[in-house]
């Protein structure tokens, strides 16, 4: 069986990304780039299928500028056997729909063989989740999105588990070839070994432009379907809502909600001693906290 994995080179969203609000553009110089996290899950799943003997060949495919070859280097270090880069200046403004259409054209024109196409459920930069479904639509393939488990049988089908709303999941049997978009929870990507990175750095990457795919910059399939009308930094996060401990009594939970949060607990230790000593200490504590009423004026102590 052959697996084709689509990967994307994106900005590392763990750090701060400066934005030029007037030009509606990100200030790119000096920012770190990485493989989109969901695509790393797809690469890891393909590598595990190869180690298990289910898959015998992995092809990695990406679309983007010259530096997007970094995604293919990561794919090769993860176990990919072939790397293909679709690179053309006319694709600089390609959105998710155009990207999916061009990638599907590349798969068909270049004669790439596959039984399963794996894509990330969504890219970290756009969060659109449209490239995978666009490829499936162009190639007329069965599509299952947000998959967190894949089991391939020997009868040309795969049993996959798909995430649904409210934490529900569904088991789906899909005929092969098919396209699956993978979701978090399917695996945990391993750290790439230095030797694998060094070998990937020397591996051949095939590069093709639009002309090689029989397309021109004026084709409607290349033109973006969307337009960025505004761009800005993220809004400040609101204050985290306070949730009282469910083990507390209803009255205590209500008191904490009304006071806006739990008060810091005292760090005092346990009281030790004979009953008379413990009683004296308890009374002193209650007096200190002014929890005992003051004795009436003129009253004798202990009266």
Q: Please report, rounded to a whole number, the percentage of residues in the chain having pLDDT higher than 90.
A: 57
What is the pLDDT confidence band of residue 265, given thresholds at 50, 70 and 90? very low
What is the pLDDT confidence band of residue 239, given thresholds at 50, 70 and 90? low
Mean pLDDT within 200-226:
91
Mean pLDDT within 163-183:
93
Lateral strand order in the sheet of 143-152: 169-175, 157-163, 143-152, 178-182, 116-120, 2-6, 57-63, 82-86, 206-208
DSSP 254-293: HHHHHHTSPPPPP------S-HHHHHHHHHHHHHHTT-SP
DSSP 173-238: EEESSEEEEE-TTS--PPPPPHHHHHHHHHS--EEE-TGGGT--TT-TTTS-S-------PPPPPP
Residue 246 in this model has a pLDDT that exceeds 90:
no
First to last CA, the chain: 92
Residue 268 in this model has a pLDDT that exceeds 90:
no
Read off the pLDDT of residues 84-130 as tens digits, 9 standing for 90 and up.
Answer: 999 999 998 889 999 999 999 999 999 999 999 999 999 988 889 99
In the prediction, which pLDDT does 299 show?
56
Residue 264 in this model has a pLDDT that exceeds 60:
no
What is the pLDDT confidence band of residue 267, given thresholds at 50, 70 and 90? very low
What is the pLDDT confidence band of residue 269, given thresholds at 50, 70 and 90? low
In the prediction, which pLDDT does 159 show?
94
Read off the pLDDT of residues 8-56 as tens digits, 9 standing for 90 and up.
Answer: 999 888 878 888 888 878 887 888 889 999 999 999 999 999 999 999 9
In the prediction, which pLDDT does 43 show?
97
Residue 183 in this model has a pLDDT that exceeds 70:
yes
Fold of 2-213: Rossmann fold (3.40.50)
Of the ranges 9-23, 180-194, 216-230, 252-266, which is most confident?
180-194
In the prediction, which pLDDT does 287 show?
80
Residue 281 in this model has a pLDDT that exceeds 90:
no
In the prediction, which pLDDT does 266 show?
47
Q: What is the mean pLDDT of the chain?
A: 87
Residue 262 in this model has a pLDDT that exceeds 80:
no
DSSP 3-state assignment of 107? helix
Contacts of 29 (CB under 8 A, 6+ apart): none
What is the pLDDT confidence band of residue 60, given thresholds at 50, 70 and 90? very high
What is the pLDDT confidence band of residue 286, given thresholds at 50, 70 and 90? confident
CB 37 within 8 A of CB 125: no
Mean pLDDT within 221-243:
77
């Amino acid at each position: 069986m052959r697996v084709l994995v689509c990967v994307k080179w994106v900005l590392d969203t763990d750090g701060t990304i400066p934005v030029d609000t007037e030009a509606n553009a990100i200030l790119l110089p000096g920012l770190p780039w990485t493989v989109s996290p969901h695509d790393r899950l797809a690469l890891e799943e393909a590598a595990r299928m190869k180690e298990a003997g289910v898959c015998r060949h992995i092809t990695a495919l990406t679309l983007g500028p010259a530096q997007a070859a970094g995604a293919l280097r990561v794919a090769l270090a993860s176990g990919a056997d072939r790397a293909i880069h679709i690179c053309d200046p006319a694709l600089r403004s390609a959105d998710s729909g155009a990207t999916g259409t061009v990638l599907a054209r590349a798969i068909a024109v270049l004669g790439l063989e596959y039984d399963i196409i794996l894509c990330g459920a969504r890219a970290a930069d756009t969060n659109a989740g449209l490239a995978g479904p666009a490829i499936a639509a162009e190639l007329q393939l069965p599509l299952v999105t947000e998959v967190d488990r894949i089991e391939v049988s020997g009868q040309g089908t795969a049993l996959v588990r798909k995430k649904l709303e409210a934490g529900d999941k569904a088991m789906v049997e899909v005929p092969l070839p098919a396209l699956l978009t993978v979701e978090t929870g399917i695996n945990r990507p391993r750290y790439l070994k230095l030797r694998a990175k060094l070998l990937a750095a020397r591996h051949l990457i095939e590069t093709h432009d639009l002309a090689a795919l029989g397309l021109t910059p004026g084709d409607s399939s290349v033109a973006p379907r969307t337009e960025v009308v505004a761009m800005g930094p993220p809004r400040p996060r609101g204050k985290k809502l306070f949730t009282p401990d469910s083990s507390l009594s209803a009255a205590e939970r209500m008191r904490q909600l009304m006071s806006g949060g739990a008060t810091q607990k005292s760090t005092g230790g346990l009281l030790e001693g004979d009953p008379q000593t413990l009683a004296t200490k308890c009374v002193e504590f209650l007096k200190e906290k002014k929890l005992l009423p003051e004795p009436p004026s003129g009253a004798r102590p202990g009266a």
